[in-house]
Amino acid sequence: MIEIDAERLKDRFIRYARINTQSADGVEDRYPSTPQQLEFAKLLERDLVELGLADVRRDEHGYVTATLPASPGCEDRPTVGLLAHYDTYFGTSGDGVKPIVHVYEGGDIVLPDDPDVKITAEENPDLALHVGDEIITASGTTLLGADDKAGLAEILEAVAWLIEHPEHPRPRLRLGFTPDEEVGHGTKYFDVAAFGADVAYTMDGSTLGEVENETFCADMALVTIVGRDVHPGYAKGKMINALRVAARLIESIPQGMSPECTEGREGYLHPVSLEGNTGDARVAYIVRDFEVEGLERLERYLEQTVEALRREFEGARIELEFKEQYRNMKLYLEKEPRAVPFALEAVRAAGVEPKLTAIRGGTDGARLSAMGLPTPNIFAGGINFHSKFEWVGVSTMVKATETILHLVRLWAEKG
């Protein structure tokens, strides 16, 4: 019988959620992208040492790793990695997070620091599963950070439980906590060989029971526009306004190819930033599709659009550059065919019906799988990631923790 200390789990999550660990997009001259992430890494290192884990390390990049040795008789089993990222999304404030615990009784949840921010029952059908349960939200002016501090707290609670219950079989466990996942660089300096796991799991999913074995294939596209800036009083026939070219570019992509209009396995072209002035401008797109062929079709469309703009705005210089971000993890998970079935079985053992799904996004697991470490993704419980409407149910966090414990047992018994 597995009984999780829900209060300890909740308190650890709240303590971590209060700390600002936002990453910053577009930072190329340092890693991680923000200094507060390195400060959090120090705190995390101390917590792992206090738990009594072996080989606790924090490197200059902010990666924090530790080891829990195998239980007696399981030393020859595969080493299993448990991973979470501790940075939070850069686009919504993570400064001064005030976690609030609600005993949910149904209906909408109004957040006190901004009454206009409501977590509505209509838009959040999963709330119906939590009547009588504790729900944790932020206060209305920041995100919560359940992405992915819920996963982080669940991993540490599972490890604490394993230390308290040495009779529970487990293989050697490697823990890894990463910065800068939200800006696509979570594994930039991650040393898979040094980590030493045969298979791993990111606790970075969302709703109860999810196991994710697919992500988008993802690229970044950067369009650089150099126009011709002259005095506006004498501009006729001479000026080429780079901002107008950028606006035309954005307008030229059909609305049906945007994330607002796609779902399921449909890909999209999504402008995420526009900056510049009359003389020059830059537009960044993210390109997403579950298949490489679909990704290439979207990129060809963008190339054709840019070529048409070159003809329309003769005299402007318009350059297009693609940067690979990650590929669908399913392409690499076949290296370890037990990874996903064991995860599904662990969810079921926790008393939850598993749901095998594809992520309309990415995780560190996509890159790690491509780097040779098969890494599916498991639910951590957060809903409405990246927004002021983010929330997590304590009971779901408990089930995620139970899932980890059943998972390590399966690898010990069947691995």
Start-end of H helices in 96-145: none
Based on the domain organization, do 189 and 266 belong to the same domain?
A: no
Kindly report the three-state secondary structure assignment for every residue of 254-298.
CHHHCHHHCCCCCCEEEEEEEEECCCEEEEEEEEEECCHHHHHHH
Based on the domain organization, do 357 and 399 belong to the same domain?
A: yes
pLDDT tens profile 74-115:
999 999 999 999 999 999 999 999 999 999 999 999 999 999
Calculate mean pLDDT across residues 276-291.
97
* β strands within 49-198, DSSP E: 54-58, 64-68, 80-85, 100-103, 109-110, 118-119, 134-137, 173-178
Instruction: Tell me how far apart the alpha carbons of residues 245 and 238 are, in angstroms, rounded to a whole number.
Output: 15
Q: Is residue 208 part of a domain?
A: yes
Q: Is residue 400 part of a domain?
A: yes
Helix orientation angle between 242-252 and 292-312, rounded to the nearest 10 degrees: 140
**Domains in the chain: how many in total?**
2
For the chain, state the CA radius of gyration.
23
Q: Is residue 346 part of a domain?
A: yes
pLDDT of residue 52: 95
Domain end position, chosen among 287, 308, 326: 326
pLDDT of residue 363: 82
pLDDT band of 331, cuts 50, 70, 90:
confident
The mean pLDDT value of the chain amounts to 96
Whether 256 and 312 have beta carbons less than 8 Å apart is answered as no
Q: Is residue 151 part of a domain?
A: yes
Based on the domain organization, do 310 and 334 belong to the same domain?
A: no
Single out the residue of 230, 181, 200, 144 nearest to residue 37, CA to CA: 181
Give the DSSP letter string of 109-122.
Answer: EE-TT-TT-EE-TT
Based on the domain organization, do 297 and 173 belong to the same domain?
A: no
Calculate mean pLDDT across residues 2-29.
96
pLDDT tens profile 294-307:
999 999 999 999 99
Q: Is residue 260 part of a domain?
A: yes
Percent of the chain's residues with pLDDT above 90:
94
pLDDT of residue 184: 85
pLDDT tens profile 366-388:
999 999 999 999 999 999 999 99
pTM for the predicted model, two decimal places = 0.89
Based on the domain organization, do 179 and 75 belong to the same domain?
A: yes
Domain end position, chosen among 263, 298, 326: 326
Q: Whole domain around residue 127: which residue ranges?
A: 6-215+328-414
Q: Is residue 22 part of a domain?
A: yes
pLDDT band of 251, cuts 50, 70, 90:
very high
pLDDT of residue 361: 82
Instruction: Tell me how far apart the alpha carbons of residues 355 and 141 are, in angstroms, rounded to a whole number.
Output: 32
Strand ranges of the sheet holding 268-276, from the earlier edge strand across to the other edge: 268-276, 280-289, 217-226, 317-326
Is 181 a residue of the active site? yes
| Residue 393 pLDDT exceeds 90 | yes
Q: Is 41 helix (H, G, I), strand (E, B) or coil?
A: helix
- Among candidate residues 180, 181, 204, 280, the one labeled active-site is 181
Based on the domain organization, do 272 and 380 belong to the same domain?
A: no
pLDDT band of 312, cuts 50, 70, 90:
very high
Based on the domain organization, do 248 and 310 belong to the same domain?
A: yes
| Residue 182 pLDDT exceeds 90 | yes
pLDDT of residue 299: 98
Conformational region of residue 259, where left means phi above 0, alpha means psi within -120 to 50, and beta covers everything else: alpha
Instruction: Tell me how far apart the alpha carbons of residues 328 and 366 are, in angstroms, rounded to a whole number.
Output: 6
Q: Is residue 83 part of a domain?
A: yes
Based on the domain organization, do 288 and 249 belong to the same domain?
A: yes
Based on the domain organization, do 223 and 210 belong to the same domain?
A: no
- Among candidate residues 47, 87, 212, 289, the one labeled active-site is 87
Q: Is residue 187 part of a domain?
A: yes
Calculate mean pLDDT across residues 209-238.
95
Based on the domain organization, do 277 and 337 belong to the same domain?
A: no
CATH at residue 74:
3.40.630.10
Longest dimension (CA), the chain: 83
Domain end position, chosen among 311, 326, 341: 326
Based on the domain organization, do 354 and 223 belong to the same domain?
A: no
Based on the domain organization, do 293 and 390 belong to the same domain?
A: no
pLDDT of residue 334: 87
